[in-house]
Amino acid sequence: MYDFKFADIGEGIHEGRILKWLKNEGDAVTEGETLVIIETDKVNAEIPAPISGKLVKQGAKEGETIIVGSTLAMIDDGRSGAKEKQPAEEKAGVVGEIEVSDAVIAPAREESQAAAPQRTLATPVARLLAQEMGIDISQVKGTGELGRVLKEDLLNLQARAERIPERQPEAPAPAGEERRVPISPTRKAIVKAMTTSKAVIPHTVLMDEANVGALVAFRKQVKDLAEGKGVKLTYMAFIMKAVLLAIREYPIFNSSFDEAAGEIVFKKSINLGIAVDTPDGLVVPNIKNADRKSIFELAKELGELAEGARNRTLQLAQIQNGTFTITNYGAVDVLFGTPIIKHPEVAILGVGKIHKKPIVVGDEIKIGEVLPLSIAVDHRIIDGADAGRFLIRVKEYLENPLLLLLN
């Protein structure tokens, strides 16, 4: 008997909700075949069978929550006794082979599951909000991918029902009373990640400004060319390229710190993460081997990742194994910030809003296009001087955009 545990898939995901079982108790299963789809706060994970046999017991039913480490399924593989623990290599294989999809696999199994009630697709935060509002979520028309119900759908429904503007501030609680609202699964993951980062990593932050007038002009020149290739060319693509080139010169910024071993682990690949603001909270997908891609390729993949993050169609692999992160304050019209490093990475670049301001060029005061930059580093292994040199190199590339094409 094989005791199949719900594995730790990382990224702050410590629990999931059973969205759909594709195999019923008593069914034969084949190793690698999808057993169940589990809805987490970030992705919907298709969990494959780790071994062939017969599904004897489902660890949790559809709609129920399952915790990492608890039994997901009992599979009779023809052996006597129960495996209480999976070998380390099998555990790693299960996690590594997880495939993610936003769609419930259906057509080939419609006959056997025709009588099963259809479960409404919805984000975890939308389910929680629906419970608080006393709304039957199955009656709500979702506007997300494949009709998924989003938080905004519920808020819009409430606004129409009450005939008030959607974003009207909530009335304050009566004097002497307080209001408590449980945080969403996404927010729980963010709480855990941010707390770990600030507790473990001694941050130091350096700030500077880049005169990006030449970059603004260059982007205008090539914007139409990019659109002709179906690419939305934002400033972020150039910033990403500048960071990647700077990492080539200063590889310690693409590392992690193994405190137990007292070793710096230099990563073999640069997986560049971009923080994306979504209705459900912050998600950080990353571009694998980003240093091998052109500016157009970076721009295209960035757009796809951002859309996937907002629609909850990202694959698990797209949010795992990041090595350096960029966060964009400019997207919310902010100049400077002090970003928090995504543990176990060692640095993060914060980018502000490009804006016009007086600058000194030579001995003259001119109106310049200025980009604020903030670099936070793990001060255990990166000194302020190294952080300063890295930031200066990023500035040089952004102030001289042709260098981005010559490297």
User: How does strand 272-274 pair with strand 324-328?
Assistant: parallel
Helix, strand, or coil (residue 124):
helix
More confidently predicted of 5 and 187: 5
Q: Copy the structure tokens of residue 390.
A: 């890295």
pLDDT at residue 89 above 70?
Answer: no
Domain shared by 193 and 322, yes or no: yes
Query: Which token pair is 259?
Result: 């405190």
Residue 95 domain-assigned (yes or no): yes
CATH of the domain at 305: 3.30.559.10
Would residue 377 count as lying in a domain? yes
Q: Domain with 92 in it: what CATH number?
A: 2.40.50.100
Q: Known catalytic residue: 379?
A: yes
Give pLDDT, residue 148.
Answer: 74
The answer as to whether 375 is a domain residue is yes
Mean pLDDT of the chain: 83
End-to-end CA distance of the chain: 56
**Domain C-terminal end among 71, 91, 109:** 109
End-of-domain residue from the set 60, 84, 109: 109
Say which residue the tokens 């560049």 belong to: 272
> What span, in angstroms and rounded, lies between the C-alpha atoms of 187 and 129?
13
pLDDT digit string, tens, across residues 113-150 = 334 345 677 765 677 677 767 787 788 888 876 677 77
Catalytic residue among 14, 343, 355, 379: 379
* pLDDT confidence of residue 101: 37
* Per-residue pLDDT, 80: 60
**One domain for residues 317 and 209:** yes
pLDDT category of residue 103 using cuts at 50, 70 and 90? very low
39-43, 100-104, 150-154, 239-243: segment of lowest average pLDDT: 100-104
**CA neighbor of 296 nearest in space, from 247, 232, 248:** 232
Q: Is residue 204 part of a domain?
A: yes
Reply yes or no on whether the pLDDT at 298 is more than 90: yes
* 239 shares a domain with 95: no
Residue 214 and residue 105 share a domain: no
Is residue 133 in a domain?
Answer: no
Residue 84 predicted with pLDDT over 60: no
Contact (Cβ atoms closer than 8 angstroms) between residue 231 and residue 296: yes
Do 191 and 300 belong together in one domain? yes
Count of the separate structural domains present in the chain: 2
pTM (whole model) above 0.75: no
Do the Cβ atoms of 100 and 19 come closer than 8 Å?
A: no
pLDDT at position 314: 85
- Report H helices in 180-279: 185-200, 213-228, 235-249
Q: pLDDT tens-digit profile of 140-171?
A: 888 876 677 777 787 777 666 644 344 445 56
User: 27 lies in which domain range?
Assistant: 2-109
Q: Quick one: pLDDT at residue 12?
A: 60
- Domain match, 278 and 378 both: yes
Query: What is the pLDDT at residue 345?
Result: 96
pLDDT, residue 178, reads 87
| Percentage of the residues of the chain whose pLDDT score is greater than 70 | 82
Residues 391 and 289 in one domain: yes
Instruction: Determine, yes or no, domain membership for 180.
Output: no
Whether residue 66 is found in the same domain as residue 211: no
Mean pLDDT of the 338-351 span: 96
201 and 90 within one domain: no
Asked if residue 171 belongs to a domain, the reply is no
Pair (95, 216) in one structural domain: no
Q: Give residue for tokens 């060029």.
A: 361
Task: Quickly list H helices, 26-179.
Answer: 88-96, 124-133, 151-162
Which domain-ending residue is among 93, 109, 125? Answer: 109
Looking at the fold, whether 198 and 343 belong to one and the same domain comes out as yes
pLDDT digits (tens, 9 = 90+) for 269-279: 999 999 999 88
Domain for residue 117, yes or no? no
Q: Token digits for 253?
A: 């910024």
Rounded to whole angstroms, how far apart are CA atoms 242 and 404?
7
